[in-house]
Amino acid sequence: MRILIMLTYYRPHTSGLTIYAERMARGLARRGHEVTILTSHFRRDLPYEERMDGVRVVRVPVLFRISKGVIMPTLGLHAWRWALWSDVISLHLPQFDAAGVALRGRLLDKPTVLTYHCDLKLPMGPFNALVNHVVNLMNDLAGRASHRVVAYTQDFADHSPYLRRFADKLTIIPPPVEMPAAPPEAIAAFRAQHNPQGKGPIIGMAARFAAEKGVEVLLEALPLILERHPQAQVWFAGQYEHVVGEGAYARRLMPVIRRYEAAGHWRFFGVLSPQEMAAFYPNLDVLTVPSLNSTESFGLVQVEAMLCGTPSVASDLPGVRQPVLQTGMGEIAPVGDGRGLAEAILRVLADRERYRRPRAEIEALFSTEKTVSHYEALFERMLARRQ
């Protein structure tokens, strides 16, 4: 099959959505399919076209940005070219431009699948409210034009006003999760480098430093945790500087974080490679995902940590709570409640072994190969019906 995958940001941008699309694309390419990614040229130093892991990546010039979105005047020409080339089209929302590509798929009778990753909720303000409204309108048009709509979990689909509108088109496909198993010596070397004195417990967060991730909730919980565990540390892995659209959020929280950093209770690690993450997770006592709203629909990092034997404490949000509920590896915390988050983390720290599960048990529920198999079967069914 010739598969066109379209999303606003692709590698080297890092987010749950881009990681999902990258794993999906590589998995399909490994199975012998021709895969093209159509995305934005969001950074000037990137090539307009290249091959990455057997996948063709085509980046469309960006004229200017609006909040976290990009305006690409020539996208229509690229969309026609690659829609004509493709056998099936895979769109990943939220994105402003998906509606036009979905309409092309409908006009060309190309099976078009829309994967809905999360809602778009920009910070408060009249301009962002307008942007939200326009993107939601375009997402709605994309859903109407697409042939099938994919969600990660039935839980999120049941609570999403967007997905409920397309219940007759809905397919549930679990997200692609992969995490290499680090050798014991690599885990020990990571610990020796970053925590030679063995202080702890270590509470991890793996995310972009963004408002929807709920960093302030962890900051609210931290004093309560330190009362019980005076040497506790937070290890934050992920982009925390120059995050698109998050400057004001960082400026608001960084003064508090810097105080904890100076006292030895907070460490930023930046973006780590998969091999480094495989050593990072086992050195945590617990991972936390204190997300605040439906811009988070699952939290892939929870399953990554679980594959490394580390339990999770997640917000009680539709979809986000599912890794814990399906595996039993952790606790659910009230959304936006620092005390509730602290209490859930303390429960896990008090009896961590009770929350551990064998790696094979987690792999049976979530893996890239499982996800790719579902998509491949869905594409083949759609092509068969079309023929």
143 and 195 belong to one structural domain: no
135 and 264 belong to one structural domain: no
- For 216-265, write each residue's pLDDT tens digit: 999 999 999 999 999 999 999 999 988 877 888 999 999 999 999 999 99
pLDDT at 68: 72
The residue ranking higher by pLDDT, 299 or 341, is: 341
The predicted model scores a pTM of 0.85
212 and 354 belong to one structural domain: yes
Residues of the chain above pLDDT 90, percent: 82
359 and 255 belong to one structural domain: yes
pLDDT at 24: 97
pLDDT at 128: 62
53 and 86 belong to one structural domain: yes
> Residue 204: which domain range?
184-363
- Count: domains in the chain: 2
Residue 231 phi, psi dihedral angles, 5° rounding: -105, 15
31 and 96 belong to one structural domain: yes
220 and 309 belong to one structural domain: yes
pLDDT at residue 299 above 80? yes
pLDDT at 321: 97
238 and 342 belong to one structural domain: yes
Are the C-beta atoms of 367 and 174 separated by less than 8 Å? no
pLDDT at 109: 94
377 and 359 belong to one structural domain: no
172 and 276 belong to one structural domain: no
CATH of the domain at 25: 3.40.50.2000
pLDDT at 288: 98
192 and 168 belong to one structural domain: no
pLDDT at residue 190 above 80? yes
Average pLDDT taken over every residue of the chain: 93
Average pLDDT estimate for 351-355: 94
Q: Which of 9-13, 81-85, 206-210 has the highest mean pLDDT?
A: 81-85
230 and 134 belong to one structural domain: no
Sequence-separated (6 or more) residues with CB below 8 Å from residue 78: 38, 58, 60
- For 194-222, write each residue's pLDDT tens digit: 999 999 999 999 999 999 999 999 999 99
pLDDT at 132: 66
pLDDT at residue 66 above 80? no
Instruction: Indicate the pLDDT class of residue 131, thresholds 50, 70 and 90.
Output: low
- For 139-183, write each residue's pLDDT tens digit: 899 999 999 999 999 999 999 999 999 999 999 999 999 998 899
